Structures are given as C-alpha cells and as structure tokens.
Structure 1
Amino acid sequence: MRMFFLIGLSFCMLVAAIPVKAKEDISTDDYIGFYGMDPETFDYLYTYKTVDSAHFANFIDGLLEHDEYGNLVGAMATSWESNEDKTVWRFKLREGVHWYTDEGVDYGEVIADDFVTGLWHAADFQSQTLYLVQPLIKNLDAYVKGEVPFSEVGVRAIDDYTLEYELTQPTPYFPTMTTYSILLPVNRSFLESKGTGCRLGNPDYSTCQFGAVKPESILYNGAYFLKNFTSKSTIEYVANPNYWDKEKVHVKKVKLIYCQQADPTTLFLAFDRKEIVSAPLDVNNPPLVKRAKEKYGDSIFVTDTNGAVAFATFVFNRQQYHSPLDSKQDVSPKTNKQREDTKQALLNTSFRRAIMRAIDTESINRQMVGDELKKTSLRNMLTQPTFVKTSTGEYYGTLVSDSLKGLDAKLYSKQLSLEDGQMAFFNPELAKEQLAIAKEELSREGVQFPVYLDVILNGESETSFRSAQALKQSIEESLEGEVRLNLIMSSRENLLASKTAELVNSDLIFSAGWSPDYGDPKSYLDILDPDNGDLLKSFGLNRAAVQSEEEKEIKEQIGLYIYKELKDLANAEVANIDKRYELYADAEAYAIDQAYFIPLYSSGGSYAITRIIPYTKSYSPYGLSSMKFKRMQLSEEIITLKERNKRYERWQQEKGGQLESTQI
C-alpha cells in the first residue's frame, strides 16, 4: 500500500554542493539526483512508505520483478506454477545467489527458508503491509491472533530451492504480489543476530536493530549496496560486483542529495550546470522556461503518467475544527449551525454529485504543469484506465465507463469516456441540476444554504495555494454561490498531525493519493472498504474494529456496504478473469456514481529534461520494480525528442513481440 497526501509540491531545493563536471567528464556510470525526505527504516518487511522502499528496492531482490516492457520475469525465482484452482503457488529459486554485507562479505546463499523467515518477521512486527496477505495466506491471520504456531502458516520451504505458498482462496494474481515488499526474503541467522528482539516468535521493537537506517543493518542480494547515508545530506549506492544479473546494471554508482522546499528552478539550474541527471522545468517561472526552450528546446519532454492517482475526498464525520496541535491555529470560521449543515449536505448523494461536476480539473492542474499540459495527466477514475485488460484487449477503464452508462443515461452519456487527458465529469449545468435536487431534499431536513466547506491546505506551498484557489473559484462559480469554500492556510506540521479520523480538520481533503501494490483492480478498490479500507481516515471514519455506532450508520447511509458487496462479489470471481474485471468495474462505477471521491490527476505529465535513456528502466504501474536503478541506462548527451520518439517506437514494437504482462 502506498498512500500519500499531497500537502505541497514535492520538488526540492539542493542544499549540498555537487562538484561541477566538465561536459567531457560526464559519466554514464554515475547517477546523481535528489531526494526530499530521509528514509525512516530499512526494515523492508515492516514499512509501507515510499521514502523507504525507493531505496531498499535497489538492495533486495524478491521472487519476481518487471522488465523494461512490463513483463513479469524471474528474480530470485526462475519459474513458478500453481495448482488448478490457484490456491497453491510454487516457486523454484535461482541457485547460487548469495547474501552480502554492505562491505561485500559473503553471508551465505539465498534459500527458500529466507522467504519463510521474511513473512514470519513481518507477522511478528505487525508489518504496515501485512494486511495485503494476512487474510490470504493460510493460517497467517490465526498466527497473528496467537491461535496457531507459525509452522502452520501456509508458507514453507520444501527444500532449499523450492518455496510454496498455500492460500485461503484462489488467487490468480498472486505472482504480481511477489513484486512488493511484504514477500521479500531475509536471512534468519543475520536477522536474529541484530538483537534479542529480532528473534522469530519473540518480537521486541526496543531490542531489534534489523533495518536501522545504516548500511550494516541489512544484508544485500540485490543490484546495489548502500555505502553512505548521512541524514539530510547524502545517500550513496554502489553496484554489487557479485550480483546475479549484473549485466543489466549499467549505473554503477548512485548519489542522491538531500533537498528541502519546493524549488524546481534550483533543480533545473543544477542540471544546466551538469550537476544532476534529470530535472523538472518550472512552468511558473516564465523567464526560466524561455531560457530553457532556447537552449534545450529539442530535448524538453513530457514525463509519462503512471498508476498513481490524486483525488479529493469528502470528510463524512468531521469532529475537529482546529489544528490537532494548537486549538488557536487553523480554526474553522463556521458557526455550529453551518457545521451541522455541512455534515448533512455531505451525506447527500446529489450534493456530492454536484460538487464533482462543479470542479474544473483542468484549471487545478494548470497551476502545477502550466496551460500547455493542463490536460495530459487528468484522470477520471480511481484505477488507472489501462491498468488491466480483458482477453479480448478491452481496457478496464472502458468496462467502468460502460457500467456507469448503465446506471444513469443522463448523468453518463453515450459519449462518456474515462480515458486520461480529459474532464469526464466537469459539467456546470448538470452540477446545478444535482444541487437543485440536493437542496430540495436537504431543505426539508433544515439545512440552510449556502453550504460552507472548509478546505485546509499547505500555506507553505505556493502551488498548493493556487490549486486550492482554482478549486474554490470553480465550485463557487459553477454552483452560483450556493456552496462556498473557506480556504484555511495551514502548515506541513499541522497537516501531518491529523493522524487519525478524529483529528481530520477539513470538510474536503484536497488532495490524497494512492498507487497500487499488485496487478489486480483489488489493489485500488480495497481502499474504499467500509471495514478495513485505507481511505477511511480521509472520510473521517474508523475501521470496523473500533468504529462507533454513528460511524456504522454513516457508512450505511452513504452506501459503503453496498459497495462492499459489489467489491466482494468481484473478488470471489477467480475462474473467469474477464468476468472478474467486469464485476470490479461495476463496483468502481458505483463508487464513482456515489461520488465518495473526486479523481483529479495522475503522477507525471509535466515538462522535464534528462540524460536517462528512455524505455530502459523497469516498467510497471505497481510493486517495487519501477523504483529500481537496475536496467536504467544514461547517455553522455541530453536526450532529444527525436531520439525519444524513435526509442518509443522501437519499445512499442519490441513490447508487442514480448509476452504480454499478465495478472494471472
């Protein structure tokens, strides 16, 4: 699970000097870039955070990974197969692959028991990604609850090179799950050498140093060793000279320099001085754009969009009306009556539909990527529209749009398309019609208009502020002042303090985000689950285990349990993959129609310039593969658009000749 909240643009200002190299000294062996936050842990079996996985994806190889075409290929596994109903999966491991310390000392061969140990450690330490497999691997849930010993959990080393998983239900997409961190291996003796609290079956956070943020805290079986980590300064990798697939490791050294604050201009200037490999182009700095186009006009390109999606969510059970850290900060200007009216309004489906159709997502996206690219990264659904496709080649997004058309012909016309790069829902006339329906219903309940929505945002980010202003203008103009937004300027610190549903200090979260963990729509749609969904906090709601009776009633009122029935029906379909995707499409269409969330845009779709040779990196919308430097190739020269287009055509032709990346 990789959830993120967009509390400001994630570009950075370089704070460490890099020696300037002459053009002839530019190396295709060295990658120099930047990072914005220190990693918190290298216990890769525990953490779900991208700030951690972006590093250890390069240190640890799991069973499978993706190649540059998006195909699932063997890493530690050389082959894999299942029984007929996909409840048992067996992997044959690559022989002769070894673990190494950060100093390159051989620590022994990677064997099947390392994967057993990895899952055991993850269960003991209540991994942040355990939920992905806890209900899926036989008896894992029972072990976590203390009901059975780990020897009864459905993972076993048949021999040193044969690993088997026994699942609780047919799971055709299970191989895609092995590309994520929860199923990575760890050497048992090394793990338990890192403190008494690391011993399997007897966890103690305070006395376990496995995964501490330093090079010697883990072993390495991947393409790189971590050689240096200096907090808020520098992170450096070097290539593993004994790596099993070293012919695919073209970048020999990686240097990442810490940066703070949003300043893409500084990054571009560093690139211009030949100090870093890639940089964004700040469209909000016209003089710089003019200079860049004059110098690099034939090399400025638009970055690819990917599986990550940003969206707005309604807070259905708001309880906080000031900063969780200070009752005098971020105070809502609303009266008690206005607070109650807002809550009633947000529980009304037509009201939410009106808001969804009142938002000009182009105007919001323009604030980040400029007028020329305002459409490129627009997204209209939770799942990436091209994430999976049927056996006949029909993309999942088409299935969702067809399902929507069957729900309401007026709201979803025959021309509706959910493809990226357009606004599928912005329609002020429909917005006013839906608001009229809502107003009639809500007025009978005593709600007075206008309804006020508090939107809290990061006041330290100019881009965040401009985007929120565009949101406010769009909603207020489309709905003719019947809905008004209070923009509350907060700080990054205060925003990050809203750690639980009860502490969310907003009526509309603008914006949250998600990227998938494995190759099935389930990886997206589970976040809306009313019992355990990761999006519940953004709704101001708690998980079923700790929810109040009021929260349960709210979930019932907004139809989340109906959604769950649709989603669970899809998950139960494993024999017919096409039918599975159709059922998931029905569930997603229902969620879109109920307007639980408002899709905004995907990652990517902005101007950049680079020396990375395009289409050499691993390609995947999920898992860890896209974070790897393995396969990446650098050029001595800046890549021109002509060269990029030529390589894209070649990549498409070669990809077409490859086995299609599958979800089964």
Structure 2
Amino acid sequence: YILKNNTAKSVIEYEKNEDYWDAENVNYDTVKWTYNDGSDPDGLFKAFEEGTLSAARVYPNSPGYKDVLAAYPDGVTWSLPGGATYNVTFNFNRGTFDATSKTTDVEKADTQAAIRNRDFRLAILFGFDTRSYRAQNVGDEGADNSLRNTLVPTQFVTIEGKPLGDSVQTNLQALDTEAFGDVVLAEGQDGYFNPEKAKQYIEKARATLEAEGVTFPIHLDIPVNAKAEVSVNQVKSLKSTIESSLGTDNVVVDIQMLSEDQYLQSTYQATTGAAGDFDISNASGWGPDYVDPSTYLNIYDSRTGDMLKTLGLEGSALVEGEDPSKEAKEAIGLAEYDALLDKANAIFENTDERYAAYAEAEAWLLNNVIQIPVNSDEGLPRVTKVVPFTKPDGWAGIAANKLKYVELQDDIVTVDQFDEAHEKWLADREAAK
C-alpha cells in the first residue's frame, strides 16, 4: 500500500500499490485506520453497525455491551495473544515532579529510596493483582486470556525442544527460592499475586528503609489519561489491590489525572529519563523485531537500551559526558544484567546455548523486579468481518500488521467459524514444522 493521508489523532489512509510485485494477493484498493482516544468505548461498535468499520473492539464492562450481545449473540470472538508485552515500570531516577501529590523534597527522596529497594519492588510485584487489572479492559471472562508473566513470551523460542519459559522459570526459582519457588510463569494466569508474600516483603523493606531514615507510607504517583475510561479503571484497580495487599500505612498509590498529551509527555514520550514524571507507570510495552530473545531483553541494556527512559534512565553510551542515571543503575545492579546480555550475545554457533544464556538474563530481570510484565497485546473481544486466519502470522516484525492476503466477508464472523478456522490453522502450522 501507498500512504495517502496521515492526520494526527484522526485517520491514516492507504491506497493499493498497483506496481507491487504480488498485487493479486492484496485484496482491497483502500484501507483506512481511524483514531480512537478511548473516551467512547461503545462508539466503536456503533461505527461497526453503521458500516464504517470492518472490525471493532468491544468492551464487556461497558453499558453498551448488552447491545453487542443482543445483535450478535454468537458474534463476539477473541483474538489470539500477540508478541508484544505490556508492563508496569518503576522510575528509578525521577527528575520531574509536575504531576505529583508529593509536597516535600523528603517525600520525593523517600519514594526514590523505596523504589531502589528490591524488597519493596517484590512487595509491589506480589501485591499487584494483574488479573483484576486486566479484567477492567476485557471483563472477567477474558481476564486470563493474555496475562503474561515474562517479558519474552514463554513460547517465543525453544531450548532443546522445550519452551524458553521453562528455562527462565528454572533459573528464576534457583536465584531466589523463597521469593519465586512457587511461582509459575506459564501464560494465561497471574503467576505472582500473593498478598501474604507481599506483606512479608513490605515488612522487610520497611525495616531496612526506616533504618536509613525513610518515613512511611511511601507515596507512588501513577499518571493516567483522564479521558481514557478503561485506562482510568485499570489504574484504579492497581491502586486498590496494591493498597489492600500492603496496607495504606505502607504504600499509597496517588493517581494523577492528566490530559492525553500530558500523560504521553510524562511517560512514553518523555524526551529523557529525567523527564519521566511518574513513580510507577503502565505506559510501557515492547514487541519483537526479529525472532531472538535479544529483541526484547536488549531494551534494558544500561548502555544502549531502547526503553531505558521508561525506567527513568539514560543509555550511558548515548549521552555526552557522565551518565546522569549512573547512581540509579548502580543501586539496582544493572551492570550484572549487561554482563549476562553480553554473554548471551557472544554465542552464535549454538542457538540452544544462546537462548539458554538469554533465559539467565531474563531470570535476573524478573528476580530484580526491574519491571512487572502484565499482558500481551491482543487477546481481545471484537466483532469482525475479517475472515479468520487470512492475516499473515508471525511473532516478529511487520507480520502482525500486514494486510496482504487479508479477506473480508459480508457477514460477521461467528464463534463457530472462528473456532473451526483456528483448529485448521493449528493443524496446518503443526504440519509445517
């Protein structure tokens, strides 16, 4: 396709490239993507009904969902989980406080000290009910569908015929049996939520931090786009479960309601690590560019990582002069992670050995709670006229967004049609191995 129109916060329009070498497998002359700011979840289904959209995300928690089921009782299908992983990140070196409930420098310093404490981060990990958080987006029925407990999908690659996630879990449990001995990393379930364990770690963290002069409770600012209804409900869920698990005498989550532009500037689009205006954030996610674990794990390389800014850090190889986040990196031990990445990246001859080394690196990342994996992309309820599994399949790169081969049908895709096509797709994929 050739790009014909790209209007910010409105539409992206494409026109078929008649000179493309395989144009006969490009089935539509024009394609139009429409922008959705999240303020009107039910509006997508209305547009589908009007014929404006060929497919529309639907929201089980929305008042309008009853209209979806009334119109199409057998027409809500669920997309398969994708390769991108969305997570909650900590700001290890916050430098901006425009969106905050903190009133003193002491409060700011206390929060930073807490976030740099591993026991504190473990308490947040075990106190965060990711299933309840995800249910705000997809309803209780689909809450488990796309839960993910690792940055790299557990099935992304194999090591001696077994999923990568198996090796990550073994390594993680070996690093800290007390914390992770009973943790299961398999997808489709919350592998960490454990309020009792959360209480144990907040007590350990509090004892250490109070000995250093830190005052409790620790206040954590989390920003959210105030217009995005689902996102607001998700951060409210995060606040509720963390405060319930840890007690508000220990941790208070302060939701910062921002405009969309303020939210993006404070988080994902922050120009530097220091510009990140949050203590914890859910404005972070990453999808693979190629099929190798490095495509995920390199994003937190302390020298060149693509997503360091979502941790409040800078790439030491990318800044002039002294790294402004050097102290923060030392506090959380990122040099150890770099060494594990270097070890894995030096292995070229044997993919099993290479992937096993990357499994060690991911286990370190999880053990130190540098970020909290939450869910994959997709795994979403929708109504659609896109013929199931005509879309190209692939973990990485542009395959997930390609429109080549995609077909549309006149009627809505039913659950039975989708299930039958899914079974055939699985069989064909197995036969192709």
Q: Which one of the candidate residues 302, 305, 323 is aligned to 2:78? A: 302
Structure 2 vs 1, CA of residues 258 and 494 (structure 1 numbering), >3 Å: closer, same or farther?
A: closer
Alpha-carbon distance, 1:296 to partner = 0.9
SS in 1 for 2:94: coil
Counterparts of 2:373 and 2:103, CA distance in 1: 27
The Cα RMSD (Å) is 1.9
Q: Is the 8 Å Cα contact of residues 264 and 279 (structure 1) preserved in structure 2?
A: no
Listed one character per residue, the Cα deviations across residues 537-575 of structure 1 (whole Å, up to 9, x for unaligned) are 122222214374662232122110001111111111111
Structure 2 vs 1, CA of residues 354 and 500 (structure 1 numbering), >3 Å: closer, same or farther?
A: same
Q: Which one of the candidate residues 286, 292, 295 is aligned to 2:68? A: 292
Listed one character per residue, the Cα deviations across residues 267-295 of structure 1 (whole Å, up to 9, x for unaligned) are 21121223321011122323x22222122
Are positions 1:458 and 2:230 aligned together? Answer: no
2:415 is aligned with what amino acid?
A: L
SS in 1 for 2:81: coil
Q: Which one of the candidate residues 139, 142, 149 is aligned to 1:380? A: 149
Counterparts of 1:230 and 1:562, CA distance in 2: 44
Matched with 1:502 is 274
Alpha-carbon distance, 1:408 to partner = 1.9
Q: Is the 8 Å Cα contact of residues 349 and 595 (structure 1) preserved in structure 2?
A: yes
1:278 is aligned with what amino acid?
A: A
Listed one character per residue, the Cα deviations across residues 47-103 of structure 1 (whole Å, up to 9, x for unaligned) are xxxxxxxxxxxxxxxxxxxxxxxxxxxxxxxxxxxxxxxxxxxxxxxxxxxxxxxxx
SS in 2 for 1:486: strand
Alignment of 1:239-258 (within 5 A): 239-257=16-34
Alpha-carbon distance, 1:259 to partner = 5.2
Alignment of 1:85-124 (within 5 A): none
SS in 1 for 2:141: coil
Alignment of 1:280-429 (within 5 A): 280-286=57-63, 288-322=64-98, 330-392=99-161, 394-413=162-181, 416-429=183-196
Structure 2 vs 1, CA of residues 362 and 230 (structure 1 numbering), >3 Å: closer, same or farther?
A: closer
Alpha-carbon distance, 1:244 to partner = 2.1
Listed one character per residue, the Cα deviations across residues 301-355 of structure 1 (whole Å, up to 9, x for unaligned) are 1121101111111111112111xxxxxxx34334222111111111111111111
1:582 is aligned with what amino acid?
A: A
Query: Which is higher, the Rg of structure 1 or of structure 2?
Result: 1
Are positions 1:533 and 2:301 aligned together? Answer: no
1:534 is aligned with what amino acid?
A: D
SS in 2 for 1:502: helix
Q: Is the 8 Å Cα contact of residues 334 and 452 (structure 1) preserved in structure 2?
A: no
Counterparts of 1:428 and 1:232, CA distance in 2: 41
Structure 2 vs 1, CA of residues 403 and 637 (structure 1 numbering), >3 Å: closer, same or farther?
A: same
Q: Which one of the candidate residues 261, 265, 271 is aligned to 2:48? A: 271
Alignment of 1:437-452 (within 5 A): 437-452=204-219
Structure 2 vs 1, CA of residues 236 and 486 (structure 1 numbering), >3 Å: closer, same or farther?
A: closer
Alpha-carbon distance, 1:396 to partner = 1.2
Counterparts of 2:95 and 2:29, CA distance in 1: 52
Counterparts of 1:385 and 1:602, CA distance in 2: 11
Matched with 2:239 is 472
Alignment of 1:512-527 (within 5 A): 512-527=284-299
For structure 2, list consecutive stretches of 5 or more residues without a partner in the other structure: none
1:455 is aligned with what amino acid?
A: I
Counterparts of 1:236 and 1:342, CA distance in 2: 45
Q: Is the 8 Å Cα contact of residues 39 and 227 (structure 2) preserved in structure 1?
A: no
SS in 2 for 1:364: helix
SS in 2 for 1:271: helix
Q: Is the 8 Å Cα contact of residues 37 and 228 (structure 2) preserved in structure 1?
A: no
Q: Which one of the candidate residues 188, 200, 204 is aligned to 1:433? A: 200
Counterparts of 1:258 and 1:469, CA distance in 2: 25
Alpha-carbon distance, 1:258 to partner = 5.0
1:522 is aligned with what amino acid?
A: S
Q: Is the 8 Å Cα contact of residues 320 and 504 (structure 1) preserved in structure 2?
A: yes
Q: Is the 8 Å Cα contact of residues 251 and 634 (structure 1) preserved in structure 2?
A: no
Of 303-312 and 256-265, more deviation after overlay is shown by: 256-265
Alignment of 1:204-223 (within 5 A): none
Q: Which one of the candidate residues 554, 559, 563 is aligned to 2:333? A: 559
Counterparts of 1:369 and 1:540, CA distance in 2: 30
For structure 1, list consecutive stretches of 5 or more residues without a partner in the other structure: 1-223, 323-329
Which structure has greater helix proportion?
2
Matched with 1:484 is 252
SS in 1 for 2:159: coil
Counterparts of 2:11 and 2:229, CA distance in 1: 27
